[in-house]
Amino acid sequence: MSFLRTVYYYYSLRKNLNYSRKKILALREKKFRKILKYAYRKIPFYKDFYASYGIKENMLQEIPIYELPTINKNIMIDNFDKFFKDNQITKNKVEDFLKNNPNPTSLLYDKYHVIHSSGSTGTVGYYLYSEKEWDFIKAISTRMFSNFTLKRKKYAFIGAVDGHYAAISLFLSPLNGPEKLFYKDYMVMDINKPIKTYLKKLNEFQPDNLTGYPYGIRSLATFQSKGLLNIHPEVIVCGGEPLLKNVEQFLKEVWKDAEIVDSYATSESLAMGASREDLKGMYIYDDAVYLEIKENKTILTNLYNYTQPIIRYELTDILKKSKDDEGEWPFTMIEKITGRTEIIPFFINENGEKDGIHPLVIAEFFVKGVAKFQFVQRNQSFFVFKIVVSQKERSDKIVEDVRNKLTDILEKKKMKNVNFEVKVVEDIKSDEKTGKYKLIVIE
């Protein structure tokens, strides 16, 4: 039943790509009203929460979305047991399940997929999906591929693998169903282990599709450029952290014939959007999520998860709408998700005022010869800009160019009083706990 349902979703979602923008917005609104009414009637938290703001059931059909109060991870965790129609689901039961069942393919009560966030905000979140909702996610995930077929292929993954993380859970999910037939073979690489130990096996494996964190894929590309790795993937799917401009360019230089895909997903919704080379931009799946894009945050309403309804949930992801209104798909087009960070570095400027450097400015930083970088704030008047330089370029010239660009950024922000150090390092390690790379660090 699960496989047939996935096929049904696949063909239904394909039709949406041919709709007009007006029809997509009407569909999004219809789905929003449906889950809003469901949550009010069936989910204990929402009825009490909305009632505290004077919102009654007869108002749900007309009330503008922006007049509904927002929630966040802390609110959800504090009221976790009230977010489900199924009263078997409790925070205690979920935590016990995660502790005793580290295998990402295991299911809570044999019917719920559990995803936990990496806890980068200091608060770990838990997100549940029914098998029906998981089938929807698998179906919509095929949008990542410009030429999706059911041809059997070899798939390789690099990322955090020792728990119910979103990426590994989705990567391994076909193994529990008929979709396994389409995995000719698969290989999993733990990013918390020395990547060099996987090179021999990866050379023998020769994946058709390579997917994982950009940090890990970039590391593999470095080995490929040095002649220690010799693979030729058809598709490279990056997700879980920002795909920075310089990293994407490096991947294209190393694997010229590969299609580079940037997948946008969160634990709160494993189906958010994607960027492909043939689409010339990133698109939000407006038929799966309702995103309200603000200047310093994004508000998410998940339109397909009825197990744990998420309505007007504040994400710290920073998005920016594209100025191009005419796209390949009838969805919201955005500039790349370059602000996937919970922190903004704030400094005291020349006028003695507190001001921040927008994460988009840092994430889009590009200087030829800089293979990797990290912004480390030490205090409100000093930061260190760590860089990994290409061995093909002169490091002293690169440092000078980086310094000039940073100086220009600070001048535009009226922060000429802020001091910094450009530090050349051999490598920048990913977070030991999550396996993910942090672009901005506050010390």
The tens digit of pLDDT for each residue in 102-154 reads: 899 999 999 999 998 754 443 578 899 999 999 999 999 999 988 887 788 99
262-288 per-position pLDDT tens digit = 999 989 999 899 999 888 889 999 999
Residues 162 and 85 placed together within one structural domain of the fold: yes
DSSP calls for 134-179: HHHHHHHHGGG-TT-----EEEEEEE--SS--HHHHHHHGGGGSGG
Residues 144 and 28 placed together within one structural domain of the fold: yes
Residues 331 and 401 placed together within one structural domain of the fold: no
- Of 304, 326, 342, the domain-final residue: 342
Taking the CB of residue 309, how many other CB atoms lie within 10 A of it? 22
107 φ/ψ angles, rounded to the nearest 5 degrees = -120, 140
Q: What predicted TM-score, i.e. pTM, was given to this entire model?
A: 0.80
Query: Which helix or strand (DSSP H or E) is residue 317 part of?
Result: none
162-205 per-position pLDDT tens digit = 788 888 999 998 777 777 777 899 999 988 677 888 999 999 99
Residues 371 and 327 placed together within one structural domain of the fold: no
Which of these, 437, 280, 190, lies nearest to 262 by C-alpha position?
280
Q: Which residues contact 162 (CB under 8 A, 6 or more apart)?
A: 102, 190, 192
CA distance 134 to 111: 10
Q: What six digits make up the tokens of 305? A: 């998860």
45 touches 73 (CB < 8 A): no
DSSP calls for 112-132: EEEEE---TTSS--EEEEEHH
- pLDDT for res 122: 39
- pLDDT for res 392: 60
CA distance 396 to 163: 42
- pLDDT for res 75: 95
| 429: confidence class by pLDDT, cuts 50, 70, 90 | confident
Range of the domain at 362: 346-442
Identify the residue whose tokens are 């299911």.
107
| 422: confidence class by pLDDT, cuts 50, 70, 90 | very high
Residues 302 and 353 placed together within one structural domain of the fold: no
Q: What six digits make up the tokens of 173? A: 């999910």
Residues 227 and 207 placed together within one structural domain of the fold: yes
Residues 426 and 385 placed together within one structural domain of the fold: yes
Q: Where are the beta strands (DSSP E) in 289-418?
A: 289-293, 298-302, 313-315, 318-321, 333-339, 346-348, 354-356, 370-379, 382-389
- pLDDT for res 119: 45
Identify the residue whose tokens are 């799966």.
288
Residues 374 and 337 placed together within one structural domain of the fold: no
Per the structure, the count of domains in the chain is: 2
- pLDDT for res 377: 96
Task: Kindly tell me if the per-residue pLDDT of 412 is higher than 50.
Answer: yes
- pLDDT for res 393: 63
For the chain, the average pLDDT equals 89
Query: Which helix or strand (DSSP H or E) is residue 188 part of?
Result: strand 183-190
- Of 301, 323, 342, the domain-final residue: 342
Query: Which helix or strand (DSSP H or E) is residue 280 part of?
Result: none
Task: Give me the percent of the chain exceeding a pLDDT of 70.
Answer: 93
Residues 139 and 285 placed together within one structural domain of the fold: yes
Which of these, 259, 139, 163, lies nearest to 211 by C-alpha position?
259
Mean pLDDT, rounded, for 378-401: 88
Q: What six digits make up the tokens of 178? A: 């008929």
For 323-337, give one letter per residue: b (16+ CB within 10 A) or e: eeeebebbbbbbbbb
Q: Which residues contact 338 (CB under 8 A, 6 or more apart)?
A: 242, 244, 245, 318, 359, 360, 363, 364
Residues 130 and 95 placed together within one structural domain of the fold: yes
Q: Which residues contact 191 (CB under 8 A, 6 or more apart)?
A: 158, 159, 160, 161, 212, 213, 215, 216, 430, 435
CATH of the domain at 362: 3.30.300
Instruction: For residue 438, give the DSSP letter.
Output: -
CA distance 79 to 98: 19
- pLDDT for res 121: 42
Mean pLDDT, rounded, for 306-325: 89
Task: Kindly tell me if the per-residue pLDDT of 391 is higher than 80.
Answer: no
Q: Is 232 left (phi over 0), alpha (psi -120 to 50) or beta?
A: beta
Report which residue type is found at 73.
K
Residues 382 and 243 placed together within one structural domain of the fold: no
- Of 342, 371, 388, the domain-final residue: 342
Task: Kindly tell me if the per-residue pLDDT of 361 is higher than 90.
Answer: no
Residues 422 and 285 placed together within one structural domain of the fold: no
